[in-house]
Structure 1
């Protein structure tokens, strides 16, 4: 016992050391960006660092790799180790006083400050991030222009140009350099398995807003950068400069191609196009590859190293997603087809796969579209549903409607190939820290709350600590949509393993478009059982139970392999040609080889880790053996190996315990004001207007500080 306590204490101190060391590195990294535009960095500090770092092994890019790339990748590696220790360590301190105080402090940062502005709901965290980025952009722009304009008159006389023309060129140059900051941050929010996001308590799906803001600002800066140079060349009769591809120095043609790809991508992100033509938006987003490749060819790989870390981590994540989706075909066990044109898909799951409530997976159905991937909230709970993983898909678009038609057709389909990526979710949840949870949903927005309720029911049944009271307020257009409440009970639920009475759960359902229940619609929920395929596998994490440890190895090992390849190339091929002068060896060749080495390094290390983990994944083999050996005797053999059946289930569910209101909408303000409790967690998932209404109530001056708001949404 004493040894166990000492071990937990050592792990705790190690986590604390990693956390503070990472914070220290991050502060230093931010200071570099603050000092970079001043007269201190490039005229004084940078030459000294360059003289010590640049060598026959790394050349000019050695300095930028050391200053900009290495610190972030080190933070990512340390964050992965921290999450691994947290995952394997003890959670005994989840409910102590210090932890609760820290939790309440964090929830205050999620409190909505602005609701009805053009940027939607803004919390203190989001507003702080936006303000800091804008301030840093303005700071950088002012210092760059101040330094450049100081020599404008002298350089204009030298070049025989007017002063305003030289200032126009300098302005265009400064806009491009300032855009580096946005590009450096752009790929962090869309790295789904990012250890850095999880380390600071964020998720990729919850950070998409940052990606959108950064993308708009970056494209504005790069567009004005390009237009500024075009205007300068037109005024100085050098318009043909745009068609020049220099072997040494900046390539203007590559910059033009990169900007053109970015503009096409940017245009399709407009809400009017993205919502009405999602497939156009989805497919044109792959132009980011063209944008990045030609951006590297435009500025050179040495300059690109300034923004490399975010893209490097994104590439690792993207390749791991590719391995998971291409190497694993997932076993679909059953599907519940609801009369409200929604389906619940139940997949076989590896027993060792754990995930937190509100986690998501991305699924692909090749028979509908080989390229489209759609995110859905996991409705199952890894504690209660040990060998299944479930999602709910409401028919609301071309893709989801096609899927519903396939599953509800008569005769029903015999098999459905599905690939997945994920699951992805928060590192931990704090729902049980509140005294009361108010879950407000609209339509299919109830899906994220199903996993939360199932998790709390499990906790209440196992005596895992105090559970909060739960009030589920769900609004539906038609009474037939009430069948979504049935999904709170899993297919395999029994009264002994899933006793809902142990949780203080109250359900208030509102049917807004009907004055009374539709007695004519007698459709029942139907369950389809699928026969297993030997080539299909249960859902498993791409890197297994030690995924964070493997990720730290992949990040560090791939980066070291990349440095080794760069060192060999520079020392034995490039250096004998140009001797670090950067005046002989072509930029395009150097940049192309560097990009190739990045791809090779990531592919070799990540593939090795993936295959090694697959070989060591004994749980997966045990599950396969279990399914095979028990196919004829197990009472649940129908669930996995029997021929597919179609059966109708009677409407016995939580719907019978819900209080249903017809012809009215929920009065959220009245509901929340009826509770005099110190801590109320208010979670909302549904249409934009509903989220804004609840956010307004939680942020209003008349509300007390006991309301802790959180929005769950995929619509951006």
Structure 2
């Protein structure tokens, strides 16, 4: 009887524990839903605000809102700041606990989709044209912006016609047109301010907002480009309309040099437009691709653009776009602090195809995903140039290093190849191995990328690469293999790699992935289709196609690893940095109002705008800088503790010997998995048609990295297959994902 009682008690306790777990799970789900709903509600209300303000109702609301805060500490500036910029800052605040406690882990990512279904983000709508490949979600955003601009212009024009009689009843037709043009110019300026609220958000590389929606910087950059072109058009119309009005009235010289204290400083606006024009011209594809350095250096003039923008529109109007500018400042200062650290490149390997593999040291506690990328500066080549490269290694393959593949295609990459060759030649003359006479020094920003390894949500993967675009896919292959090897969650079971290359010697890049001695055939099916477009037949023996290196450089690095202040790094410290800097900004603005602006009745527009920018910069430097300092000390301590727990592995040294573990086994597996075709390009219609026949109703992740023509071809085929899915019945859904990074 006692045994039965004990058994009953154990069951009772187990049931109580299960009930407690269910309650805890429910509370967690509820908290996640509340946070997510709150962010969505704020975001929708913020977007609606821009549509409402130009209307009569919005104009009345705006006037009442400003009047309600009249006479308070922050006055009209604080009122507009709270209305326009506070929502996006509040979302950033709420994003901190959300990504810390409720971010998707690998198990949730793989269990998220039980049934194949379409996604707005991965369904290509436009595949040809000036915008490149545009997904359904991106198309919705584009339409919203177009609707906003057109509706705002309409509302402002109607309001201007209603205001026209207030200028006098005896106006001639010419004077009426002049007044209408003047008011239209002002309205263009108001629309520009609304668009500026979004301009800087996509280019904050490690932004907490981009991490929240899991859109990496290389994807968001195109949104910045689209907005930049739209804003440039609106700014040009704003200035052109004013110039025509001044010309008609014959007051051009005096108005051009006007620097008003109770309104817009015209000269500051013209200087601001000059910087904007210079930036925009260098972003045009013919200029950017041929003179990348000119494009890069000219883009740094955004600092002068923001300063003269503030001088032109004043603190009140700048408050409308302050949220995005402030978040970008936070990201830029964090990147500046990270890039100050210099590391020695552990090893550099030259491949016959003109590609260099660099192995960079990293701390053990630096986290990133396989589709990450870094910005690299090599001190031996240039102290100013930064270039983006995809990480070609898995975060699971090497606790203390990461790898990048760099194709020799320009002046900078050619110099890098020459530097590696020079170092290799000098090292070969030294008797002692691994004692380089010529160190290769580098600085690193990143790694950046997706917050989660989203390629794991697909059971079937199709990787399409063009030339050096193979780099991120080598990271995916390596990551999947290591996950299987270490028995970590890994959904992909079939991987098809389609690789278009010019010459067969590029096939040697496949040797960078180490499969070891394990047999993965029962867990993973890897198929590689290589298309050599500029050769009609195999020029050498098959085994030589996988020849790994022509020269290598080896070095040791003790403690000189890249900084942990990264876009996909510690979530808690990244959130603390944003919150502390924002609180610091409010504190600095309060002190400025209490001790200077209000006591001395400072009311000059241009001066208030300048003070406003100074407050933002000061809060980032002081409060943000203090947080970064504490972050750095904490990470250093954590890194040291983790290194100590490694039981003296490598004696605290980061070492790479450039060897390929299990090379012979891997080459045999690779050759059996690779089909090489010469003299033609891949036929995507045939490839995707075959996949559609063999795969049942399942989500197929299609990833593309290559030139725009390759992206368009693959996106067009994905769209065609998805649209024809009803005719085929039980067929897969192809989800298009681009990993191409084109600055």
TM-score under structure 2 length normalisation: 0.87
Does 2:556 match 1:532?
Answer: yes
- The 3-state SS of whatever aligns with 2:55 is coil
Match of 1:411 among 409, 415, 426: 426
Equivalent position of 2:503 in the other structure: 478
SS of equivalent to 2:232 = helix
CA distance in 2, matches of 1:670, 1:646: 35
**Residue 726 (structure 2) pairs with residue 706 (structure 1):** no
Work out whether 1:689 is the aligned partner of 2:713.
no
Is 1:141 matched with 2:165? no
Q: Which residue pairs with 1:73 in the alignment? A: 89
Indicate if the aligned counterparts of 1:415 and 1:530 stay in contact, CA closer than 8 A.
no
> Which residue is equivalent to 1:505?
526
Matched-pair contact (CA < 8 Å) for 1:69–1:308: yes
Question: Are residues 686 and 268 of structure 1, via their aligned partners in 2, closer, same or farther at CA, if it must alter by over 3 Å?
Answer: same
Aligned to 1:568: 591
Q: Is the 2:493–2:523 Cα contact (8 Å) retained in structure 1?
A: no
Cα separation, partners in 2 of 1:158 and 1:85, compared to 1, 3 Å: farther
Q: Partner of 2:612 in structure 1?
A: 594
Tell me how far apart the structure 2 counterparts of residues 428 and 202 of structure 1 sit (CA, whole Å): 10
Between 700-709 and 313-322, the greater mean CA deviation after superposition = 700-709
The answer as to whether partners of 2:265 and 2:311 remain within 8 angstroms in 1 is yes
Shift in Å, 1:571: 2.4
Given candidates 602, 605, 630, the residue that maps to 1:612 is: 630
Q: CA deviation at 1:470?
A: 0.6
SS in 1 for 2:301: helix
Match of 2:50 among 7, 10, 33: 33
Q: Does 1:553 align with 2:576?
A: yes
1:651, distance to aligned residue in structure 2 (A): 11
Q: Which deviates further from its counterpart, 25-34 or 462-471?
A: 462-471
SS in 2 for 1:206: helix
Counterpart CA distance in 2 for 1:182 and 1:21 is 24
- Please list every run of 5 or more consecutive structure 2 residues that lacks an aligned counterpart in the other structure: 1-16, 428-436, 726-731
For residue 262 of structure 2, give the secondary structure of its aligned residue in structure 1.
Answer: coil
Q: Secondary structure at the match of 1:674?
A: helix
Deviations 1:556-596 (A, max 9, x none): 22222222222222223222333xxxxx6322332222211
Pick closer, same or farther for the CA change 1:82–1:638 going to 2, 3 Å: closer
1:532, distance to aligned residue in structure 2 (A): 2.8
Residues 457-476 of structure 1: pairs in structure 2 closer than 5 A: 457-463=481-487, 464-476=489-501
Asked if the contact 1:460–1:466 (Cα under 8 Å) also holds between the matched residues in 2, the reply is: no
Give the 3 Å change call, closer, same or farther, for CA 519–94 of structure 1 in structure 2.
Answer: closer
| 2:182 maps to 1:201 | no
Superposition RMSD in Å = 2.8
Deviations along 1:256-302, one digit per CA (max 9) or x if unpaired, are 11011111111111111111111111111111111111111101011
- Residue 319 in structure 1 maps to residue 333 in structure 2: yes
- For residues 130-209 of structure 1, what are the structure 2 equivalents within 5 Å? 130-157=142-169, 162-209=175-222
Corresponding position: 1:338 with 2:348: no
Would you say the 8 A contact 2:391–2:402 is kept in 1? yes
1:119 maps to which residue?
A: 131
- State whether residues 347 and 539 of structure 1, in contact with CA within 8 Å, keep that contact through their aligned partners in structure 2: no
Shift of 1:7: 4.9
Q: List alignment gaps of at least 5 residues for structure 1.
A: 579-583
Q: Per-residue CA shift, 1:178-236, capped at 9, x if unaligned?
A: 11222111111111112222222312110111111100110111111111111101111
What is the SS of the residue equivalent to 1:439?
strand
Q: Give the distance between the partners of 1:382 and 1:266, measured in 2 at CA.
A: 37
When structure 1 is superposed on structure 2, of 465-474 and 119-128 the one drifting more is: 465-474
Scaled by the length of structure 1, what TM-score is found? 0.91
Change (3 A) 1:28 1:466: closer
Specify the alignment match of 2:100 in structure 1: 84
379, 383, 389: which one aligns with 2:402:
389
> How many residues are treated as equivalent by the alignment?
694
1:541: Cα distance to partner? 4.0
